[in-house]
Chains A and B, each alone.
Chain A
Amino acid sequence: MPKSAKVSSLINLIGVFALYFLFLAIFESGIFGAKTDYFKGIATTACYTIIMVTSLNLLVGIMGEFSLGHAGFMSVGAYASAVFTNAIANSGIPDFPMFLLALLVGGAAAALTGFLVGVPALKLRGDYLCIVTVAFAEIIRVCFTNFKITGGGRTMSGIAKLSDFYWVYWVTVVCVTLMFLLIRSRFGRTVRAIREDYIAAEASGVNVTFYKVATFTISAFFAGVAGAIYAHYMTAMIPTSFNFAYSAEFLTEVIIGGAGSMTGSIIGATFLSALPEAMRTFARYRMLAYSIVLVIVMIFRPGGIFGTWEFSLTRLLKKIFRVKGTAPGGKGADAAKAGKTGKGASV
């Protein structure tokens, strides 16, 4: 491992911890008094939204295909994990391993679904694929409204409350870092090549179908993890909440933040999940303001607020201290770091 990469991972690790302790200090000191739980809730929401939006960014920004059914994968992950934890609720497993297991089950279920949907659907491109993803999410919704095991259209309640904010924080850091590391490897490079020109990619020896299905599956996996967090945070859910509007919201957040920029996804997700709460007092004008923000961004920054730019803590520190000698290219934890800035902004 080159020295610069080591330094930069260390810097980012410190950054992630610093933000963690900042949250710890804010929430444990009781600055907000009775409102602490409320703010913790917003922060948790921001976290799973970040996972959702970055995972969707893998498809939209890196692979260049639109998906309007990402809430469908979230729904699969949420219900699979909820059914799983309900089934083993009395086995005496401590909360934390149980939480991790739930995440894995949610992720695996969604990944499997993603694979099964991806194999036939990824023969399509662009608009056609987009329509298929919409249809997929609708099918999932209708299935879950009718399956007995998912509550048969009624609210599925009584799910164990496992999603503690501090755990969720670390899960988010890990998920975002994993995605970031994958993007900055030969896999990400190949998938970006497919986005740029799939014919040329194929002619350069890239098995386009394989990489597309793999990306779709990975993206679905993380959406499933987000779904599992959601289920164990809300403790009650109904299939209709994973509707088209919810999928569209994620896509909006990707586009606003900048397709292809993890930083953009993280900040977009944080901003847009905190915004409705911040504007609760003007509830009547909320949607109006939301739309205006979208229109303004699209007019002045058609590539999204951040375009494809990535925040790097290493670079920032270097600018501040003008340290010489260490090479640029903060890998790994840049995204995680950016995640923190984003979440910091939300609170």
Chain B
Amino acid sequence: MTEKKAVSAEVPKETPVLKAVHLGISFGGLKAVDDFNMEIGRSELVGLIGPNGAGKTTVFNLLTGVYKPTEGAFYLNGKKMNGRKTYQVVEEGIARTFQNIRLFKKMTVLENVKVAMNKDMHYSPLASIFRTNSFWREEHDTDERAMELLDIVGLGDKKDAMAMNLPYGQQRKLEIARALGTNMRLLLLDEPAAGMNPVETDELLDIINNIRRTFGISVLLIEHDMSLVMRVCERIQVIDYGVTIAKGTPEEIAHNPRVIEAYLGKQAEKEVLNMKDASGHVIGEEGSAAAADAEPDKAEKPDETAGAGTPNR
């Protein structure tokens, strides 16, 4: 872990970890994301919220190279990342989790993390055929590092379990451990608390704060659970119909009329203004349960989100 700290220390504080400038993408005539600007500093936790179909996951897909931006650019540690493929973006240090959990289901918990560490392993096919010392050493070292990460998310004792057999909350944690395995600078969390009960959500918060402290990682969080967003995020950016409608601290966002309008429509605005975060919480919950928006990850396996969310409720 030490080398990780050393690398991040070299990054001057002024250079933001992530900088998106006028980032945008259109599908045909539809501008899914337009003029998206964002800066995330080291160890910062920024929230990205918006109603269903606002384009949040599209932003993630842009930042991870799944989609190629049609306008603008984004930089990681000052390095332009446009046009890179997903695995190249990951190599540079952006990792993500998925809205509907995507684990390697029929592989063990430990293997799930080790797959993400593959890019930092160097032994050749010949070394694996002859089972050379470098093979055993690297496999052993990777095992140890993977176990450290699993301990951080509290899955150390489950290393030989099949990923598919983990309870829902632990699958979420495993996804985070796997993302950590890629040795990233910036972690994108796509609705990490969806389908979790309050206890699991709290544990998750602890984990997120813990990894920020330990590794100096910056986090960009998409979340429908308003209470969570309000509690943990240092800054929040709100988008609706692909356009940024507000930026600021949780306090500012909670009282921003445009945000309330986007979530509830104009009439509700006045009533809600008088209420506090608690109401936002309820609204958010509904949003995440319905959650079947037009975002591509979803569209592929809509049944998973619905099915996975229920057992805990």
Contacts and interface: CB of A to CB of B under 8 A. Distances in A.
Given A204-B90, A205-B91, A185 B114 contact: no
A193 B121 CA distance: 16
A206 interface: yes
Given A1-B136, A187-B128, A205 B103 contact: no
A293 B297 CA distance: 40
A101 interface: no
Contacts of A187: 125, 128
Interface stretch (A14-22, A52-60, A72-80, A194-202): A194-202
Nearest to B120: A205
Per DSSP, chain B at the interface is helix
Contacts of A204: 90, 95, 115-116, 118, 178-179, 181-182
B119 A196 contact: no
A267 B64 CA distance: 44
A332 B107 CA distance: 20
Contacts of B96: 203
A208 B90 CA distance: 13
Interface in A293-347: 308, 331-332
Contact of A205 (B98, B116, B123, B297): B116
Contact of B131 (A5, A193, A202): A5
Contacts of B64: 203
A190 B104 CA distance: 10
Contact of A192 (B104, B119, B139): B104
B128 A205 contact: no
A2 B137 CA distance: 10
Contacts of A178: 129
21 contacts: A1-B133, A2-B136, A184-B128, A186-B121, A186-B123, A189-B118, A192-B106, A192-B111, A193-B107, A196-B103, A197-B102, A197-B105, A200-B178, A201-B104, A202-B87, A204-B116, A205-B91, A205-B116, A207-B85, A207-B87, A308-B106
B86 interface: yes
A190 B116 CA distance: 9
Report the 8 A-B pairs with minimum CB-CB distance, sorted nearest first.
Answer: A185-B128, A196-B104, A205-B90, A200-B102, A204-B116, A205-B119, A193-B115, A202-B86
Given A186-B118, A199-B102, A205 B133 contact: no
Nearest to B133: A1
B9 to A, nearest CB: 23
Nearest to A180: B129
A206 B128 contact: no
Chain B CB count within 10 A is highest, among A182, A185, A202, for A185
Interface string B221-239: 0000000000000000000
A178 B129 CA distance: 6
A102 B135 CA distance: 31
A204 to B, nearest CB: 4
Interface residues of B, number: 38
A185 B127 CA distance: 9
Contact of B105 (A196, A208, A308): A196
Nearest to B116: A204
A178 B131 CA distance: 11
A1 B131 contact: yes
A186 B128 contact: yes
Given A186-B121, A332-B131, A205 B105 contact: no
Interface in A192-251: 192-193, 196-197, 199-208
A181 interface: yes
B125 A182 contact: yes
A311 to B, nearest CB: 19
A176 B85 CA distance: 35
Contacts of B111: 189, 192-193
Contacts of A186: 114, 118, 121, 123, 128, 138-139
A202 B118 CA distance: 12
A189 B87 contact: no
B88 to A, nearest CB: 8
A192 B102 contact: no
A206 B118 contact: yes
A271 to B, nearest CB: 25
B128 A182 contact: yes
B104 A182 contact: no
B14 to A, nearest CB: 28
A205 B139 CA distance: 18
Q: Which of A201, A205, A206, A208 has the largest number of chain B CB atoms within 10 A? A: A205
Given A192-B107, A202-B90, 16 more contacts: A182-B125, A185-B123, A186-B114, A186-B118, A189-B107, A189-B114, A193-B112, A197-B102, A199-B98, A200-B102, A201-B104, A204-B90, A204-B182, A205-B87, A206-B115, A332-B131
Interface in B131-157: 131, 133, 135-136, 138-139
A178 B86 CA distance: 31
A233 to B, nearest CB: 26
A192 to B, nearest CB: 6
Interface in A155-205: 178, 181-182, 184-187, 189-190, 192-193, 196-197, 199-205
B182 A205 contact: yes
Interface in A126-143: none
A181 B136 CA distance: 13
Nearest to B183: A205
Interface string B278-308: 0000000000000000000100000000000
Tell which of A207, A331, A332 has the most Cβ of chain B within 10 Å.
A207
A189 B106 CA distance: 11
A206 B87 contact: yes
Contacts of A203: 64, 86, 90, 95-96, 98, 102
Contacts of A202: 85-87, 90
Given A186-B121, A189-B111, A181 B128 contact: yes
A196 B116 CA distance: 14
B242 to A, nearest CB: 23
